[in-house]
């Protein structure tokens, strides 16, 4: 879900950032593929990831909608320092 033209900036991110973005993209893909509602799917993923910080239902819904509007770059943690 990262365009080929953005692979260089993505590859320049620290490995932890790349991993986290891939996690978010997998959750977003699951939401889009689900026949359940967005909220229901977000709840399911939040419950599965309850031991990891940052995956509350609120954060999942927020990042899903931000991604839909602006693309994968909104998933970069500010500390990732992605250059535009």
What tens digit of pLDDT does each residue of 54-72 get?
999 999 999 999 999 999 9
pLDDT band at 78 (very low <50, low <70, confident <90, very high): confident
- Are the C-beta atoms of residues 76 and 22 closer than 8 Å to each other? no
pLDDT band at 82 (very low <50, low <70, confident <90, very high): low
Residues 6+ apart with CB under 8 A from 14: 80
């Amino acid at each position: 879900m990262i365009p080929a033209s953005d692979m260089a900036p993505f590859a320049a991110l620290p490995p932890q950032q790349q991993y986290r973005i891939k996690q978010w993209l997998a959750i977003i893909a699951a939401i889009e593929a689900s026949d359940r509602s967005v909220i229901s799917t977000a709840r399911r993923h939040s419950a599965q990831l309850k031991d990891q910080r940052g995956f509350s239902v609120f954060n999942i819904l927020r990042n899903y909608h931000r991604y839909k509007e602006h693309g994968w770059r909104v998933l970069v943690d500010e500390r990732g320092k992605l250059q535009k």
